[in-house]
Amino acid sequence: MKYLPLLMLSVGLLPARLLASCPPDIILFGQLSYAQKQPSLWRINEENPYAANNIYNDLVIKYANSCQLIDEKLDLDVSLYGLTYYSYRNIGVFEKDDSRTRLLIDKLQLSYVISDSMRSDVGKLRPKGGLFYLQSPASLMNNYYSGFKPSRIYDAAMRPVYSESFWGAVVAKDTEKNSVSLTVSPKLTRIDKWYQSSGNWSATERSNASERYMLSYSDYRFDNNTPSVNVMLGDSRSIAFSNGYSYSPQWVVNFELAYHFNQQWRHLETRRAEMVQNYAFPAELYSVANDNGVELALGLQYTTERFSQFGIEYYFQSEGYSVSEWQKQTDLINFLNQEMKVVPLAQAFDAYKYLMASEIYNTSSKGNLLGKHYINTYASFLMSDHSSLQSFVVLNIMDKSSLLGINYNKPLDQLDKRLEVYTGAYTSFGSHDSEFGLFGETIGTYLGFKYHF
């Protein structure tokens, strides 16, 4: 919210005539959802920290505009989201947000045309995504989730918006033969509230808590292959390769490989976990080690002539928890759940549980997975009436826990060409000590609308 004055100033500086010539894109999302959660390993005050079932109302308004400030030289691209939600029942202590209303600056981008093939973008920018739906190793500019904990808008268009965009600059040279770009994202703050979920951090903490410089190169000179390389420098160093091989316009094989010079997400430190189990109380339990790591993703995708899409992806990360490492984590949760007669000790244990739950949540909220091996399958059908049906199944191969989802979107052209409705369901399956079952097996359903003003 502290960037609101800056935003208002930049918008206020625009001549009224200019704004009038740039019609905004305004969309209202409204959604009713229901979620049911099974009890999990976690207990706070000997109670389930999640509501067993609840109904949520979500409302989101999007404002987007794109204007030429200087004809054919300088563009301003703005995209803002206002979010709010209401729950019918009290939410659990692990699900609480500091505020139920939030403003997201998704994009505040000034683009300057340097030459016929070069441009520069400055402001709050959205990183380019990778080739994979589940996790793209070559996508190195990942930021934290900015939405609420218990509920979110499930429309597909909102998915990228919930990942905070970053303040920074890009200089890019794009030609038909190749593309080269340098992205700079400065460190503007540091994260010290690891005991809170990322949605409760400031937007800058979600996006600019580390110093990042990324050099990217893509080559378009090969008929059927599009190789790319990304090099990340700064607080974290990585090199990533990717290639999309088109066997035909319909069949595409995707490949991404990343080598990291240090861990990409915070891991439970075994030594500190053992300290807690010996009634010594370290300030932190999780950290990033300077261990090298590898990420690999392979995918096969088929796109029909009417743009329906089907695919299967395999993902591996060397830094994912092994079975024994994961066991240490669940052992610690079980240890902290034991009944404590001494009140200060019970409070200390509860504080550790908040910390652990937030650390695990925040690892996921940056798009990371916790295990080593995954399979993802997805299908997206586009119908002749412009409705669409999407589904996915994600399987953690090691612990057999899974995520499933299905979403149906239909424009209501007969009623109003600006109105779309969507509905769907999702579920997470797995044992109490599995990745997707750790916070309780969940089943949810939703019904929403999207209105373009």
Partner 1 sequence: MKIRLLLTFIYPALLTSLALANTTSTAEIKALEIIRQSDEVRSPNKPFRYTVTVKEFKSEESAPIRQQVLDISMRFLKSDNGSAADARSLARFVYPPRNKGKVMLSDWYDLWFYTPELRRPIQISRQQRLLGQISNGDVIVTNFEYAYHSVLLGEEPCGNRVCYKLALERKSPEVTYPKVIYLVEKESYHPYKAAYFSLDDKLIKEVSYQDYKPLLGKERPAKIVVVDARYGNGYSVMEYSDVRFESLPLFHFTKEYIQRGGN
Contact residues for partner 1 (CB under 8 A)? 25, 27, 72, 77, 107, 111, 113, 115-119, 121, 126, 128-133, 156-157, 160, 170, 172-176, 179, 181, 218, 220, 226, 244, 246, 248-250, 252, 303, 305-307, 309, 380, 386, 411, 413, 417-418, 420, 450, 452
- Candidates 270, 315, 316; CA nearest to 289 is 270
Residues composing the chain: 453
- Choose between 122 and 398: whose C-beta lies nearer to partner 1: 122
In terms of CB distance, is 46 or 72 closer to partner 1? 72
User: Least distance in Å: CB of 386 to partner 1?
Assistant: 7
Q: Which CB sits closer to partner 1, 165 or 200?
A: 165
Amino acid at 222: F
CB-nearer residue toward partner 1: 165 or 434: 165
Concatenating the DSSP letter of every residue in 243-302 gives EEEESSSSEEEEEEEEEESS-SS-EE-HHHHHHHHTT---S-SEE-----EEEEEEEEEE
In whole angstroms, the minimum distance from the beta carbon of 303 to partner 1 comes to 5
DSSP string of 331-376, one letter each residue: HHHHHHTS--SSHHHHHHHHHHHHHHHHHHHHHHHTT--SSSEEEE
Q: Burial level of 305, CB count in 10 A (0-12/13-18/19+)?
A: exposed
In terms of CB distance, is 117 or 347 closer to partner 1?
A: 117
Q: How far is CA 225 from the centre of its chain?
A: 28
Q: How far is the CB of 16 from partner 1 (least distance, A)?
A: 21
> Residue 450 CA to chain centroid, in angstroms?
21
Who's near 70: CB < 8 A, 6+ residues apart?
none
Contact 216, 230 (CB under 8 A): yes
Measured CA to CA in angstroms, residue 389 lies from 67, 377, 395, 422 at distances of 34, 14, 20, 10
Q: Which is nearer to partner 1, 219 or 269 (CB)?
A: 219
CA–CA separation, 335 and 329 (whole Å): 10
CB of 140 to partner 1, least distance (A): 15
- Report the SS3 class of residue 82: strand
Judged by beta carbon, residue 127 or residue 437, the one nearer partner 1 is: 127
Contact present, 150 and 35 (Cβ < 8 Å): yes
Minimum CB distance to partner 1 smaller for 363 or for 409: 409
